[in-house]
């Protein structure tokens, strides 16, 4: 069976490898993004596996020309930035792999918003490709409990692994000419979340509890190198944190140094502790923070 994958990230690699390992004829259309590391991973994967891949930068090649010349029997879209015109697929069954539950987390960054909003479970979906973003019939869904050590990249990696289960089910149904399931999320309201903007990744010490700060840091790690706060008028990022039971009367955002560990006061009179910072394009363990002027009693903005 010839399976096409349309992608703009490296998330597709576990799926493509698994399908090819089981004898599927896999062909890939890749639209490079600004993520150089992801591009390098994709190129290394293609070099190793020798799977056929065309990129959007190839002369006279776009995704519809690729569809017309490759003619896959089924297409999976995963991590592709642009809205595709399903009318130009020529009847090829097409599905989108979405790293969030639908319809409650539509949009380009569902993992970020699930983590930031503190969802107790994290969801992944596969839906029929439609004329609107993330609006087609859901044919596979999975949820897993959130864990304190999960961060943005790890959750995307989990989606890349778990979605293979859904893809196998879809391929089996197509091969056996069986109807695909329709996952009904009941009365769950539809909501679209935009791509994170500056204000979405900044810590508001006056309003955010320790758990909310920690959730934001996980949602920003590693793609944004942590959540942003302001130190002496410049951007400082927190790359890890844990809520504590420490009570304090210090103003929210105040740094409290204990045994070379930063405790930072949050809303509600409790604190987080953090061990790693990012400042001026460098990673700084907190035991060296004083060398950069970040000291006990200072207040972050």
- CATH number (1.10.3080.10, 3.20.20.70, 3.40.50.170, 3.20.20.10) of 2-175 reads 3.40.50.170
* Residue 257 CB-density burial (10 A; 0-12 exposed, 13-18 middle, 19+ buried): middle
CA 162 to chain centre: 14
Q: Of 33-42, 56-65, 203-212, give the lowest mean pLDDT range.
A: 56-65
pLDDT value at residue 301 = 87
* Residue 140 CB-density burial (10 A; 0-12 exposed, 13-18 middle, 19+ buried): buried
Neighbouring-strand partners of residue 127: 96, 138
User: What are the pLDDT digits (tens) for 176-201?
Assistant: 999 999 988 777 899 999 999 999 99
pLDDT value at residue 14 = 97
> Are both 2-175 and 198-292 of the same fold?
no
User: What are the pLDDT digits (tens) for 79-101?
Assistant: 999 999 999 999 999 999 999 99
The class of domain 198-292 in CATH terms is alpha beta
Beta strands in the chain (DSSP E): 2-7, 25-30, 53-55, 74-78, 94-98, 121-128, 138-145, 227-231, 234-238, 242-247, 255-258, 261-265, 270-274, 276-279, 282-285
Q: What is the CA radius of gyration of the chain?
A: 22
What is the band of 155 on the pLDDT scale with cuts at 50, 70, 90? Answer: very high
């000291």: which residue's tokens?
Answer: 295
Assign residue 29 a region (left: φ > 0; alpha: ψ between -120 and 50; beta: otherwise).
beta
Percent of the chain whose pLDDT exceeds 90: 89
Instruction: Yes or no: say if 162 and 124 are a contact pair by the CB < 8 Å rule.
Output: yes
Give domain limits for the chain.
Answer: 2-175, 198-292
Predicted model pTM: 0.94
């Amino acid at each position: 069976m010839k399976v096409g994958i349309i992608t703009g990230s490296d998330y597709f690699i576990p799926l493509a490898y698994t399908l090819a390992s089981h004898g599927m004829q896999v062909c890939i259309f890749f639209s490079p993004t600004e993520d150089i590391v992801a591009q390098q991973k994709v190129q290394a994967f293609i070099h190793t596996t020798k799977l056929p891949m065309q990129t959007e930068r190839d002369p006279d090649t776009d995704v519809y020309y690729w569809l017309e010349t490759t003619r896959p029997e089924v297409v999976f879209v995963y991590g592709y930035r642009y809205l595709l015109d399903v009318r130009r697929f020529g009847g090829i069954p097409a599905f989108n792999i979405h790293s969030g539950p639908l319809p409650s987390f539509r949009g380009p960054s569902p993992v970020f918003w699930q983590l930031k909003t503190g969802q107790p479970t994290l969801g992944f979906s596969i839906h029929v490709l439609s004329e609107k973003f993330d609006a087609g019939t859901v044919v596979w869904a999975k949820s897993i409990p959130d864990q304190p050590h999960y961060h943005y990249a790890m959750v995307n990696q989990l989606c890349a692994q778990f979605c293979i289960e859904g893809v196998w089910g879809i391929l089996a149904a197509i091969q056996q000419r069986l109807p695909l399931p329709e996952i009904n999320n009941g009365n769950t309201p539809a909501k679209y979340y935009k791509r994170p903007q500056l204000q979405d990744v900044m810590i508001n010490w006056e309003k955010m509890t320790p758990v909310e700060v920690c959730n934001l840091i996980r949602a920003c790690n590693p793609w944004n190198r942590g959540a942003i706060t302001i130190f002496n008028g410049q951007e400082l990022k927190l790359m890890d944190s844990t809520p504590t039971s420490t009570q304090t009367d210090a103003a929210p955002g105040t740094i409290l140094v204990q045994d070379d560990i930063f405790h930072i006061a949050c809303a509600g009179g409790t604190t987080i502790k953090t061990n790693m910072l990012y400042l001026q394009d460098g990673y700084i363990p907190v035991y060296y923070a004083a060398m950069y002027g970040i000291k006990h009693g200072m207040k972050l903005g």
